[in-house]
Structure formats: structure tokens, C-alpha cells
Copies of this chain bind each other. A is one copy, B any other.
Amino acid sequence: MTTLNHHLVFNDQGLIPAIVQQEGTREVLMLAWMDEEAIRRTLSEGRVTYWSRSRGEYWRKGDTSGHVQHLISMSTDCDRDTLLVTVNQVGAACHTGTHTCFDGRELSEISEIAETSTTA
């Protein structure tokens, strides 16, 4: 585990989860991951930037889609191992086109979660 000045705590991949929330409406838009450099870019540019685990590269939200996130503020939690990023979201937050990544995906039944488990 890597610790930085002021004890921000990253996981063993050097990443910290970032919860992204729309200012005003307080909708939770998405969760993504940042490393130290992504945090630095986000704070210095005011454009929210993540580390894409699937692509293995920095991902400045909206560069491709136009769905930019303008930084309002960034906080850590009590354990300093999670970030809460307040943004102004341009357009849809989710790459599927829904307003947030959680829209219309409610789990109401236990059977929806896990009946059979398989290891991939």
C-alpha cells in the first residue's frame, strides 16, 4: 500500500476510488478510479481525469464524448482511501447514454444478485 503526504491511501494498484456527484441535484453519477497523477491533473486543470483500468491510460472525461466533467470540489473520507468529487456534468455521465451510471438498474430481488456463482 502506498501512502502520500497527508496520508492519502491508494490500493495496491496505486489507485483510489472516486465517487462522482452532480452539484446541486446531488445525484451520484458514477464511480471511477484515480491515481496520484489523475488527482493532480484534475485539481490543476479543473477537468476531471481518471485512470482507466480497462484501457490502462488516463481518461479525461469528455475528450471523446464531449460529456465533460468540470470540477467543483474534491474531498476525502475519514480513512483517506476514498474521494468524493463534486462536478458539473455536461450531457450524460454514462457511456450508455443514461444520465447516471445507476439509472434503471435497481436490484429488488435476492435472486437477481446470485443464484449460481461461477469463477471466470
Contact A105 B75 (CB under 8 A): yes
Chain A 92-107 interface 0/1 with B at a Cβ cutoff of 8 Å (1 = within): 0011101001100111
**What size tier do the contact residues of chain A reach?**
35 or more
Contact A117 B75 (CB under 8 A): no
Q: A5-B111, A21-B28 are in contact. List 6 more A-B contacts (CB 8 A).
A: A2-B118, A3-B117, A17-B31, A25-B26, A40-B114, A82-B101
- Can you report 14 A-B residue pairs in the complex whose CB atoms are below 8 A from each other? A1-B120, A3-B118, A5-B111, A5-B115, A8-B113, A8-B114, A19-B28, A21-B28, A28-B28, A31-B77, A74-B106, A75-B105, A78-B96, A78-B105
